[in-house]
A and B are shown apart, each in its own frame.
Chain A
Amino acid sequence: QKEVEQDPGPLSVPEGAIVSLNCTYSNSAFQYFMWYRQYSRKGPELLMYTYSSGNKEDGRFTAQVDKSSKYISLFIRDSQPSDSATYLCAMRNTGTASKLTFGTGTRLQVTL
């Protein structure tokens, strides 16, 4: 079983919809949680970065972390066709040389 589980999708939504993306994890040492967006044939681009439990909002994006349930979410409001991409959750512990552990990625398609 992988340390980080993420539904690969694909997830198809109409333009303007609210999108909910989720990951679960098993390693309780993870303290930092990230969401990356990856367009086809591009490298991952950081969207959101949160520490421990709680919510963080940035424009149309909201990240939530529930450490008690080992569950993280990314919400996208007013989704746009330009949001069509693969969304990767990533997490790491507090070590000084902290590699990221990624989920599989969820492929999102926002249709007109």
Chain B
Amino acid sequence: GAGVSQSPRYKVAKRGQDVALRCDPISGHVSLFWYQQALGQGPEFLTYFQNEAQLDKSGLPSDRFFAERPEGSVSTLKIQRTQQEDSAVYLCASSGTTGTDTQYFGPGTRLTVL
């Protein structure tokens, strides 16, 4: 497809379970961002990749959150031992040549932790 895709679109996890969220960026886009959007709030930055290099992970809320992009294309955001406060929409965005280009967002994965 032409846009950013994310899977699954919805995920329900029991507290303590591990989850993995996938992002397929726009083909050829070098930069990839993850954001967390809580209900009624704007997206908040989690982490940034340029190709396979994770250049900024300052927004990851705890060491339970881990992101990777091993081949510089698809990225996975993993959350270990999920907590109720992790319930949110996780958005992925990609941009072209550098992180300064327009960021195009995917539809998000809505995570609910019970």
Contacts and interface: CB of A to CB of B under 8 A. Distances in A.
Interface of A: 4, 6, 8, 32, 36, 41-46, 49, 88, 90, 92, 94-105
A104 B110 CA distance: 18
Contacts of B100: 32, 92, 94-96, 98
A66 B20 CA distance: 42
B50 A43 contact: no
Contacts of B66: none
A10 B98 CA distance: 35
Interface residues of B, number: 28
Given A36-B105, A99-B56, 17 more contacts: A8-B40, A41-B107, A41-B110, A43-B4, A43-B91, A43-B93, A43-B107, A46-B102, A92-B100, A94-B100, A97-B31, A97-B55, A100-B35, A102-B44, A104-B42, A105-B40, A105-B42
A65 B110 CA distance: 33
B42 A6 contact: yes
Interface string B98-114: 11101111111010000
Interface in B39-61: 40-45, 48, 50, 55-56, 59
A103 B98 CA distance: 23
Contacts of B108: 42-43
Nearest to A49: B102
B43 A102 contact: yes
Contacts of A92: 100
Given A96-B98, A97-B50, A46 B104 contact: yes
B99 A96 contact: yes
B59 A99 contact: yes
Contacts of A105: 40-42
Given A43-B4, A43-B91, A43-B108, A97 B42 contact: no
Nearest to A104: B42
B58 to A, nearest CB: 8
A55 to B, nearest CB: 19
Contacts of B50: 97
